[in-house]
Amino acid sequence: MISSPLIPVAGGYIDGHWCAADGGQTFPVINPATGDVLAQVARMGGDETLLAISAASRAMANTPTIEKRREWLENIASALVKNRDEIGRILCLEHGKPWREGKAEVDYAAGFFTYCAANIDHLKSRVLEERPRGCEWRVLYRPAGVVGLIVPWNFPIGMIAKKLSAALAAGCASIIKPASKTPLTMIALFALLEREVQLPAGWANLVPGSAGAIADALLTHPDVAVISFTGSTEVGKELIVKSAAQVKRVALELGGNAPYIVFADADMDKAVDQLMVNKFRGSGQTCVCANRILVERSIAAEFSKRLTIRVNALRLGNSLDDETDIGPLVDRAGYEKVRHHLTDAMAKGAQLVAGAVADALPPPLEKEWGGFFPPTVISGVNRTMACWNEETFGPLVPIAEFDDENDAMLKANDTEYGLASYIFTQNSARAQRFVEGLHFQHVAWNTGTGPAPEAPFGGMRQSGYGREGGIEGLFEFVDVKTSPVGI
């Protein structure tokens, strides 16, 4: 069992109090590297969610000033940075990612609170310069109402930071549903909100437990104005359907299928370096990581050779071990999906290029946890294969070749997803054509970097809608009102 000063209770937090589930039910949180039970966390449902919504509605009866909200945001950022090591430790134990990645994620999370604090003045009311119809027109940004924030397990602190920072900046109280695989990091965040930020009761409420029951309570309660969800496209579609009954606003950050395009004129070492970071972060379990590597035919063999050297040097291991480059996949289902993508591609003609599986493919995982999948590179990939069409969410690097710019564009856009994409070329005119022509929200040129707090990020097409980060993200939880005044 985990022991931490930041986990006072393995429960929820409603109206300023730690609490257990009404019926006392719990669910286990498992270390994916070892299978050890880290904690038994309260399994809450609809009733506790309703209590949390009432608490949030009461809190919002008095909207705090922008100055007060700025102070909360700054204090949360400081508390996260001050407690980086302990939050990072908890995060790594329940997720399995390497220690240095866990700490970097805490800094990334703090960045969203810092950014919102520094830019909250954009939410002040303004008067239009123009005077249409002889009136003075005021534009007001009002808190939309209570918000429901539902987050996945792959960035246990990063994903909630994006949502909570914008919600507090807007003046909205929240009900937070953590992922059931990683609720302990969220509990640690709430310990900081209580002890170091002294966030008043009701402004942030934590309800771990049964996803369907919690989501239904949020979707059917009239006080809940916005549901912001990050997770799979499958669940996102369900939320769109269910939100129709009350015309509830939903913001959806969903799955991806990122192309990573390398032209013959690219700085090949840079493209390989950046791919290593982009692809293997979180063991490849990120929505923005390269899912299909498209390499110009004339350099494909050399690119694979240089990549192989790097991939074969990666060390798998437990998260808190300093030597670890890659941790386990989160559970058996995650492991089996990567294994399926590999075996399906091999059966359809792909070749094994690199990986600890040179003479044998990884076996099925017998147990539920401890799925250390060897980082693997395959070539000869095409659009008939599952790894082309679906998000792999693991350390498999599928390489396909292309002939020219037109071929690269067609192959890259051959997906219903539209989240992140990457292009490596020294030709700036070509890069510009790809920035315009790729059907993805994030189009990175000569870098494998993903989102940053300062820039808007989100999906197009079946990767969802809504934006997090940047000035645009600040407006996610406000109602924009206009008031013409006849003076």
- The residue within the footprint of ligand NAP, chosen from 148, 255, 259, 395 (CB under 6 A), is 255
Residue 283 or residue 425: which is nearer to ligand NAP going by CB? 283
Beta bridge partners of 461: 417
Residue 154 or residue 205: which is nearer to ligand NAP going by CB? 154
Q: What DSSP character marks residue 169? A: H
- The residue within the footprint of ligand NAP, chosen from 96, 152, 171, 362 (CB under 6 A), is 152
Residues 363-402 that bind ligand NAP (CB under 6 A): 391
With contacts defined by CB under 6 A, name the span among 111-119, 145-153, 340-348, 437-445 that binds ligand NAP: 145-153
> What is the total count of residues that contact ligand NAP (CB under 6 A)?
27
Beta pairing, strands 26-30 & 37-42? antiparallel
Nearest approach in angstroms of CB 232 to ligand NAP is 3
3-state secondary structure of 434: helix
Residue 232 or residue 308: which is nearer to ligand NAP going by CB? 232
Beta pairing, strands 146-150 & 174-177? parallel
Beta pairing, strands 146-150 & 224-230? parallel
Beta pairing, strands 464-465 & 249-253? antiparallel
Residue 263 or residue 417: which is nearer to ligand NAP going by CB? 417
**Which tokens go with 228?**
């912001």
Site membership for ligand NAP, residue 449 (CB under 6 A): no
With contacts defined by CB under 6 A, name the span among 173-181, 261-269, 344-352, 440-448 that binds ligand NAP: 173-181
Nearest approach in angstroms of CB 12 to ligand NAP is 13
Angle at 154 between CA 149 and CA 157, to 5 degrees: 55
- The residue within the footprint of ligand NAP, chosen from 169, 186, 215, 258 (CB under 6 A), is 215
- Give the number of other Cβ atoms within 10 Å of residue 402's Cβ: 20
Residues known to be catalytic: 253, 287
Rounded CA-CA distance 316/394 in Å is: 13
Going from the C-alpha of 328 to that of each of 102, 182, 364, 391, 394, the distances in angstroms are 14, 14, 14, 18, 9
- The residue within the footprint of ligand NAP, chosen from 254, 262, 276, 378 (CB under 6 A), is 254
Nearest approach in angstroms of CB 251 to ligand NAP is 10
Rounded CA-CA distance 466/338 in Å is: 29
Site membership for ligand NAP, residue 212 (CB under 6 A): yes
> 87: which residues sit within 8 A by CB, 6+ positions away?
6, 80, 102, 106, 157, 185, 188, 189
Nearest to 156 by CA among 219, 91, 85, 228: 91
Site membership for ligand NAP, residue 238 (CB under 6 A): yes
Rounded CA-CA distance 438/422 in Å is: 9
Going from the C-alpha of 139 to that of each of 60, 129, 172, 411, 481, the distances in angstroms are 21, 11, 19, 44, 6
- Give the number of other Cβ atoms within 10 Å of residue 312's Cβ: 14
Nearest approach in angstroms of CB 441 to ligand NAP is 9
Going from the C-alpha of 443 to that of each of 58, 168, 191, the distances in angstroms are 42, 29, 37
**Which tokens go with 134?**
């002889």
- The residue within the footprint of ligand NAP, chosen from 80, 191, 235, 474 (CB under 6 A), is 235
Binding to ligand NAP by CB under 6 A, coded x per residue (else -) over 179-208, reads: xxx---------------------------
- The residue within the footprint of ligand NAP, chosen from 165, 230, 291, 421 (CB under 6 A), is 230
Nearest approach in angstroms of CB 400 to ligand NAP is 21
Q: Are 434 and 449 in contact (CB under 8 A)?
A: no
With contacts defined by CB under 6 A, name the span among 32-40, 176-184, 276-284, 376-384 that binds ligand NAP: 176-184
Q: DSSP alpha helices (H): ranges in 120-265?
A: 158-170, 183-195, 211-220, 233-243
With contacts defined by CB under 6 A, name the span among 121-129, 191-199, 210-218, 354-362 that binds ligand NAP: 210-218
Rounded CA-CA distance 365/368 in Å is: 7
Site membership for ligand NAP, residue 11 (CB under 6 A): no
Binding to ligand NAP by CB under 6 A, coded x per residue (else -) over 100-139, reads: ----------------------------------------
- The residue within the footprint of ligand NAP, chosen from 211, 240, 346, 356 (CB under 6 A), is 211
Q: Are 312 and 354 in contact (CB under 8 A)?
A: yes
Site membership for ligand NAP, residue 259 (CB under 6 A): no
Nearest approach in angstroms of CB 329 to ligand NAP is 12
Residues 455-474 that bind ligand NAP (CB under 6 A): 459, 463
- Positions touching ligand NAP (CB under 6 A) are 150-154, 159, 177, 179-181, 211-212, 215, 230-232, 235, 238, 253-256, 287, 391, 419, 459, 463
